[in-house]
Amino acid sequence: MDEFDLKGRVAAVTGGASGIGKAIARRLADHGAQVWVLDLDPAAAETTAGEIVEAGGRAWALACDVADPESVSRAFSTISSRGPLDILVNSAGIAHIGTITTTSLQDFDRIFRVNVQGTFLCMQAAVSIMVQQAAGVIVNLSSLVALMGIPDRFAYSMSKGAVRAMTLSVAKDFLDKNIRCNCISPARVHTPFVDGFIKRNYPGRETEMMAVLSKTQPVGRMARPDEIAGLAVYLCSDMAGFLTGADIPFDGGVLNLRGN
């Protein structure tokens, strides 16, 4: 018996074509969910959806720019026209490196529009559907930087703090509608983005810098996307029916064990 059975549930995953979002989309499908893969890159979304179908699941791809209200409206109108929406996972997001003095207004606005406005727009669209069903689950991807300060992540930290706050607010406001809303706050996760970042900024020192970044976590490594996906499946399942308004640090011991 699958305690995390999601058969009959319909899920939308933003940023579902790569990294953490892709891992979550595939894992939800593994547990029986029908998955809408939303991504800015329609070809990559089609690839992910195709992989899910090839593995025996059900999935569809949708082009969606989460920062664009019209794009989000079109995507969720398409989803609602085909039936219910039981699960939303907001994984789409972008990063930025800089302090308050080195962050331009343009960079700040770009981070805000994708990470904050994008999460807002998708939650707003999903909640409008879920309210009519009197049921639903939302999982947002925040970050450990919403809970602690790290160097050179001013705008990114701002955005993830906002995601955490929005999560708690939606959880509170829609308790009576049977809509649960939680977020995951990972430490560093080994994704293609991390590999690209190291390659661009530390050419010839990739192995060294991977070791440095890995040791930031007391467990001695970064998280894997599939580990984040496992937690997301739990939060979306009935096994987490008692859990709402929670921010779960997935941090390899950073908050409580670093320095010990």
- pTM across the whole model: 0.95
Q: What is the pLDDT of residue 59?
A: 98
Distance CA 187, CA 20 (A): 13
Place of tokens 């947002």: 140
Half-sphere exposure of 32 (CA within 13 A, CB side): 12
Which entry of 156, 164, 167, 179 is annotated as an active-site residue?
156
Q: What is the mean pLDDT of residues 182-203?
A: 90
Distance CA 112, CA 107 (A): 9
Q: What is the pLDDT of residue 260?
A: 52
Largest CA distance in the chain: 55
Distance CA 10, CA 130 (A): 11
Q: What is the mean pLDDT of residues 97-110?
A: 97
pLDDT tens digits along 142-156: 999 999 999 999 999
Poorest-pLDDT segment among 31-45, 90-104, 190-204 = 190-204
Residue 20 sits at the vertex; the CA angle it makes with 15 and 22, to the nearest 5 degrees, is 60
Query: 223 with 189: CB under 8 angstroms?
Result: yes
CATH class of 10-186+224-243: alpha beta
Distance CA 77, CA 230 (A): 28
Domain boundaries, the chain: 10-186+224-243, 189-222
Q: What is the mean pLDDT of residues 12-24?
A: 97
Which backbone phi and psi does 100 adopt, to 5 degrees? -65, -30
Residue 209 burial by CB count (10 A; 0-12/13-18/19+): exposed, middle or buried?
middle
Examine the residue annotation and report whether 202 is marked as an active-site residue of this protein: no
Residue 20 sits at the vertex; the CA angle it makes with 166 and 125, to the nearest 5 degrees, is 40
